[in-house]
């Protein structure tokens, strides 16, 4: 049995609210439009900011589309879940926000509710390729997300085995 985290539930609810239920429907320009976020492409590292009450996001035009999708998801976490100016906040709090944004990025780009519907090949390299191609992410990104997903599946299987032993 797999139990979703609060983040996984939040992401599923978010996607369903904007009528995205399949990987091929995921498009960051559409998501930005639905949220009223203006996206710009410039030759600078990606970042987001609020200007006159509206969110803006600058994505690095030097990156490929898959890398821009990762950056979009990372910055979206800052827009939706974080407050404050990172330039003036405590270093450890900034590190926490970056950790949260990276975790969000993996789950947002490859949502668990979509990933769990895919019949993954047994061979890891084939599973990584399938995930990467399906969700339009790089293969290293797909490998990391697959590791996160399988680690959680394994921990729940261990938990269930322990409970059976105690019964």
Token pair for 100: 């949260």
Q: What is the pLDDT of residues 20-48, one digit of tens each?
A: 999 999 999 999 999 999 999 999 999 99
Mean pLDDT of 40-59: 94
pLDDT of residue 165: 77
- For 59, the enclosing helix (H) or strand (E) is strand 54-60
Q: DSSP class of residue 120?
A: -
The Cα 64–Cα 139 span in angstroms is: 13
Q: DSSP class of residue 24?
A: G
Residues 6+ apart with CB under 8 A from 136: 23, 26, 65, 66, 69
Q: Is 40 helix (H, G, I), strand (E, B) or coil?
A: strand
Q: What is the pLDDT of residues 60-118, one digit of tens each?
A: 999 999 999 999 999 999 999 866 666 666 788 778 888 999 999 999 999 999 999 99
The Cα 155–Cα 144 span in angstroms is: 17
């Amino acid at each position: 049995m797999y139990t979703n985290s609060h983040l996984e539930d939040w992401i599923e609810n978010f996607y369903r609210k904007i009528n995205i239920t399949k990987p091929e429907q995921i498009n960051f320009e559409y998501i930005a439009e639905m949220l009223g976020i203006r996206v710009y492409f410039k030759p600078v590292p990606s970042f987001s900011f609020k200007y006159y009450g509206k969110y803006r996001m600058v994505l690095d035009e030097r990156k490929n589309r898959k890398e821009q999708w990762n950056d979009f998801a990372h910055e979206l976490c800052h827009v939706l879940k974080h407050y404050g100016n990172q330039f003036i906040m405590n270093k450890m709090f900034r590190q926490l926000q970056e950790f949260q944004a990276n975790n969000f990025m993996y789950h947002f780009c490859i949502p668990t509710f979509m990933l769990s519907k895919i019949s993954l090949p047994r061979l890891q390299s084939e599973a990584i390729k399938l995930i990467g191609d399906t969700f339009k992410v790089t293969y290293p990104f797909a490998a990391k997300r697959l590791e996160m997903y399988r680690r959680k599946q394994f921990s729940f299987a261990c938990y269930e085995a322990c409970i059976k032993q105690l019964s």
